[in-house]
Structure 1
Amino acid sequence: METIARENVQQAIDETFAAQRIQAKYNRLSSVKERKILLEKLQNWIKNNHSDIQRAIHADFKKPYAEIDLSEIFVVTSEIKHALKNLDHWVKPKKVPTPIPMLGTKSYVQYEPKGTSLIIAPWNYPFNLALGPLVSAIAAGCTAIIKPSEMTPHTSALLRRLVEETFDKSQVAVFEGEVEVAQVLLSKPFDHIFFTGSPAVGKIIMKAAAEHLSSITLELGGKSPAVIDNKADIKDAAEKIVWGKFVNCGQTCIAPDYILVHQAIKDEFLKELVQQIKKMYDPSKKGIEKSKDYARIVNSKHLKRMKNLLADAELKGAVKYFGGHVEEEENFFEPTVLTGLTEEMEVMQEEIFGPILPVISFADLEEAINYINLKPKPLALYVFSKDSENINKVFKETSSGGAVANDCVLHFLQNELPFGGVNNSGIGKAHGHFGFLAFSNEKSVLKQRVGLTASKPLYPPYGFAGKKIIDSLLKWF
């Protein structure tokens, strides 16, 4: 039965991919109006099925409805609105200046769809991170196959329903399933692959893409630090970090992974951190496990991973400053703050991707910068300070996919900014115009006049005049 099922999946993928390759040729000639119609259909489906989206995501890991609206639905609808508003401008050929040696020519950049695209979405924001790239693919004129995560089955089923009710499969399709489905999809010669997930899996995607020389966008992760200097507003920093870290139960690629706080304010900051955790998730003092505003770990496998990280840290000397309570039947893991960290601990070696927050002190800003630079480049970096020189120093002397001063996570919502990592934390950029470019080929076009041109005197045989012109080019241009 398994073999039959696998053969059916293979056949379905073969047929859909073949249909999309044909459609991709027609899409090269698609108008802005046609692309906008597709985006509007997506927008209308989301609007008309708002409650169904909430229920599906909540069923997968008890994500609060307000959090779903903000971090899943709003992100997608704002991306659609941004594309609808700006698409006419994005697709217009962009004229470029003509240098003197090229006099007589006209040049411009023409944006054409890359063609067929594959979007492999993660489980932590299963709606947002599947449909955000789809908006960019449609805006650019690409076809798309979406492979949602098997770890969020309710949302994956909803995504399939959305696509089947909104698009023809030759334009957009969804294939659910586990790693075998992804392997079949990755064997196809897609023109572009957009993957969101871990650096480890990103390397696998990159190898598969190399087989067909497919272009890729890799949205990965890493250990994103938050630096708090001795000139920061402690309460403000603690409040923002608690929200950025523990929203979605810490299962956010750009969540602060660990804190570097100046030793002069460490104790005060830790106390404020606990106060803010209680204020947000236990205002009634009945226990955070009773909170309807706190999500759960996605499944028992990842809950076990969190428990192991905490146990390893404590075994090697870490101090549990706050939290650590676990309820396995609910996949509940309390917001947890650790101190007394060392580099031998697993929690300091790998991306946490959960509600454990290590806090480390530093004596001067140079020490904090050096600590960050010893690790792979993170997806995000946060600095909390009232001193603009300190903020700029950290930004200039470190490398990260994105950087935010005096807040967390918010840059993901800024459609005018490119979103993505650098090296270990990602390749390529997304969102808004940058997402459109990711799925587009920026074709260079040069138009020459007929007859005498500035370049003809440079044709062989190279006589005295030709050599003089070449000498002038070398000297003056």
Structure 2
Amino acid sequence: MKIADVINAQHEFFRFNHTKDTDFRIRQLEKLKQLISDNETTLYQAIFNDFGKSEFETYLAELSPIYHEIDLALKNIQKWSKRQRVRTDLANFPAKSYLVPEPLGSVLVIGAWNYPYHLSLIPAISALAAGNTVIIKPSELPSRTSSAMAKLINESFSADYLHIIEGGVEETTELLKYRFDKIFFTGSTAVGKIVYQAAAEHLTPVTLELGGKSPTFVFADCDLPMTAKRIVWAKFLNAGQTCVAPDYILVEKSIKDAFLQAVQHALQHYPQTPETEIDPLTGRYVQIINQHHFQRLNSLIETAQDKVHFGGNRDTDSRFISPTILQDITFNDEIMQEEIFGPILPVIAFNDLDEVIQTIKQKPRPLSCYIYSKNQKLIDKILNEISFGGGCVNDSLMHLTNGNLPFGGVGMSGFGCYHGKAGFDTFTHYKSILHKPFLSEPSLKHPPYSKWKLNLLKWFLK
């Protein structure tokens, strides 16, 4: 189908209230969950062919969160969709006040390449749970993954309800010419600005999930082996191609050497050269998505070659970059001028926490921040002084797994949020209703007006 035909069909389908039935939404989400479950093998193979990503990592970071999001929605759709009573003020007594949740309408979800199933389907699940029709535009970079999703969904769902449109910049540009009732975009800040500008032509509300340089603070009182283990997993998952990965480390100078040693120990099971034998279950260490991104990361390592503490091995043909630790980094180094989005971890040692905080506050607000310490005063200081989307204390990345925590950025790292109830709310409009009976009508607000009425009004409305 042509893009215009799909969009028009979805507008028409929504107009006839088909998606407002919560039982219909539940059936569709159950169908989607079963479809994914029945075709896990196909999905594993597609993403393995694109990234070399293992079944284990794909289930952990892609499919499991999708199942969790569907289950959370199925459990709560009926409750989330009910009218919500709120207090009525004295001026409107007697009356009742309530909010009526209603779906926004036709939604466009533009997914990202680094977690192609997760970042395309989870926003779509929230939109479907809220009662919208959805067009998904997955990233074209992992082409086999995109094709696998499109084939499964487009053969199983009617295009006027849920449909995937594949393609690159041309198709995305074409989609953005049309009016949607909501656009949800995950990707870079640069492309996010383009999406936002296109949406403004139709006054379409937008949620932008972007990125940024997410700092990680490591203090001397932390559990060092545990800290290193958790940071290494979070940073090098998906070869660092994660928007909420620790982008750089700020470690107290007194423990810098011990920290570097602990990180190197935590990396003992990570490959330093490309694997020759690849098991689909365990996969290879995830590849860099394409040669463009490989060369960008390669250049960052070459620029800081004299600061490589560990790793730094690269192989162009297999797009392999081993986990790489850089030491003696400053905020002026090239590696600190942009989000890394790869398996390179700069380490900055510091003595003056206030100075570091002020430096971070002068930069764009990060998507995430992580703090490793047992000192609540230090923790509170950072939480209170640094603005960021979300994060963890004594862990990294894992805040994403809690459906009760809204996920989103702030400032240049994005705006709007999703996951769980927050996702339902993102794709919902709450109509505010004041419902009065025909019992009486106070003369106070009606003419003729007088001084005594004004005095009474001031007393009454204080």
Give the TM interval when normalised to the shorter protein.
Answer: over 0.9
By how many angstroms is 1:453 displaced?
2.7
CA deviations 1:393-418 (Å, max 9, x no partner) are 21111111002000110111111110
Determine if contact 1:395/1:403 at 8 Å carries over to the other structure: no
Partner of 1:218: 208
Counterpart contact for 1:281–1:293, Cα < 8 Å: no
Corresponding residue number in structure 1 for 2:92: 102
For residue 71 of structure 1, the aligned residue among 56, 61, 66 is 61
How far is the alpha carbon of 1:351 from its aligned partner? Answer: 0.4
Q: Say whether residues 1:371 and 2:359 are aligned partners.
A: yes
1:460 maps to: 447
Match for residue 407 of structure 1?
395
**Residue of structure 2 equivalent to 1:472:** 459
CA distance in 1, matches of 2:59, 2:71: 16
Q: 1:349 to 1:106 in 2, by over 3 A?
A: same
Aligned to 1:281: 270
Alignment match, 2:106: 116
Check if 1:319 corresponds to 2:307.
yes
Greater shift, 361-370 or 56-65, is seen at 361-370
Secondary structure in 2 aligned to 1:357? strand
In structure 1, how many angstroms separate the alpha carbons of the residues matched to 2:191 and 2:19?
A: 35
2:365, 2:413 within 8 Å by CA — same for their partners in 1? yes
Equivalent in 243, 253, 268 of residue 233 of structure 2: 243
Superposed CA offset, 1:220-245 (max 9, x none): 10000100011111111110000000
Contact 1:377 1:423 in 2 (8 A): yes
Q: Distance in 2 between matches of 1:35 and 1:412?
A: 24
Give the superposition deviation at 1:98.
1.0
Distance 2:361 2:295 in 1: 30
Alignment of 1:197-216 (within 5 A): 197-216=187-206
Instruction: Evaluate the alpha carbon distance shift between residue 402 and residue 230 of structure 1 in structure 2; reply closer, same or farther with a 3 A threshold.
Output: same
Q: Secondary structure at the match of 1:177?
A: coil
Q: Which runs of 5+ in 1 are unaligned?
A: 1-10
Q: Distance in 1 between matches of 2:285 and 2:380?
A: 34
In structure 1, the partner of 2:382 is: 394
Decide whether the 8 Å contact of 1:383 with 1:405 is kept in 2.
Answer: yes
The letter of the residue matching 1:459 is H
Letter paired with 2:350: F
Letter in 1 for 2:448: P
Q: Does residue 299 of the first structure (1) align with residue 290 of the second (2)? A: yes
Is contact 1:28-1:113 (8 Å) kept? no
CA apart distance, 1:287: 4.4
Q: Equivalent residue of 1:212, what SS?
A: coil
Contact 2:390–2:408 at 8 Å: present in 1 too? yes
Instruction: Indicate the residue corresponding to 1:195 in structure 2.
Output: 185
The 8 Å contact of residues 112 and 140 in structure 1, kept in 2 or not, is answered as yes
The amino acid of 1:434's aligned partner reads: A
1:464 Cα offset (Å): 3.3
Match among 100, 104, 121 for residue 131 of structure 1: 121
* Contact map agreement 1:261 1:360 (CA 8 A) in 2: yes
1:376, distance to aligned residue in structure 2 (A): 0.9
Work out whether residues 111 and 139 of structure 2, in 8 Å CA contact, stay in contact via their aligned partners in 1.
yes
Partner of residue 147 from structure 1, selected from 115, 137, 148: 137
Q: Distance in 2 between matches of 1:458 and 1:262?
A: 65
Q: Secondary structure at the match of 1:118?
A: strand
Of 21, 34, 42, which residue of structure 1 is paired with 2:11? 21
Tell me if the contact between 1:121 and 1:148 (Cα under 8 Å) persists in the aligned partners. yes
Paired position in structure 1 for 2:301: 310
| Correspondence for 1:423 among 411, 416, 429 | 411
- Looking at structure 2, the residues matched to 187 and 287 of structure 1 have their Cα atoms a distance apart, in angstroms, of 46
Measured against aligned partners, the alpha-carbon deviations of 1:249-301 in whole angstroms (never above 9, x if no partner) come to: 000000000000000000000011111111x314xxx8464584521101111
- C-alpha distance in 2 between matches for 1:425 and 1:327: 31
Shift of 1:450: 2.2
Preserved contact between residue 110 and residue 442 of structure 1 (Cα < 8 Å): yes
**Equivalent in the alignment of 1:162:** 152
* One-letter amino acid of the counterpart of residue 390, structure 2: G
Letter aligned with residue 291 of structure 2: S
Partner of 1:176: 166
Q: Give a deviation string over 1:398-442, Cα, whole Å, max 9, x none.
A: 111002000110111111110000011111010110000111111
Query: Aligned partners of 2:17, 2:336: CA distance in 1, in Å?
Result: 47
Amino acid at match of 2:83: P
Q: CA deviation at 1:138?
A: 0.6
- Cα offset, 1:371, TM superposition: 2.8
Structure 1 CA distance, aligned partners of 2:19 and 2:235?
Answer: 45
**In structure 1, the residue corresponding to 2:234 is in which secondary structure?**
helix
1:76-107 C-alpha deviation (Å, 9 max, x unpaired)? 01000010011111001110011112211211
Distance 1:242 1:159, change over 3 A: same
The structural deviation recorded for 1:389 is 2.0
In the alignment, structure 1 residue 440 sits paired with structure 2 residue 428? yes
**Amino-acid identity (%):** 42
Instruction: Give the secondary structure class of the aligned counterpart of 1:110.
Output: strand
Per-residue deviation, 1:311: 2.1
Kindly state the Cα deviation for residue 167 of structure 1 after the two structures are TM-superposed: 1.0
The TM-score with structure 1 as length reference comes to 0.93
Cα deviation, 1:177-218, whole Å, max 9, x if unaligned, reads 110100110111100000000111111111111110111111
Report the secondary structure of 1:352's partner residue: coil
C-alpha separation in 2, matches of 1:246 and 1:236? 16
For the 8 Å contact 1:229–1:365, the answer to whether it is kept is: no
Contact 2:135–2:162, Cα closer than 8 Å, also in 1: yes
SS at match of 1:187: coil
What amino acid maps onto 1:200 in structure 2?
A
RMSD: 1.5
Between the two proteins, the alignment pairs up a number of residues equal to 457
- Post-superposition offset of 1:42: 0.3
Paired residue secondary structure (2:249): strand
Structure 1 counterpart of 2:331, one-letter code? E
Choose from 246, 259, 264 the match for 1:256: 246
User: Contact 1:312–1:345 (CA<8 Å) still a contact in 2?
Assistant: no
Which residue number in structure 2 is paired with residue 227 of structure 1?
217
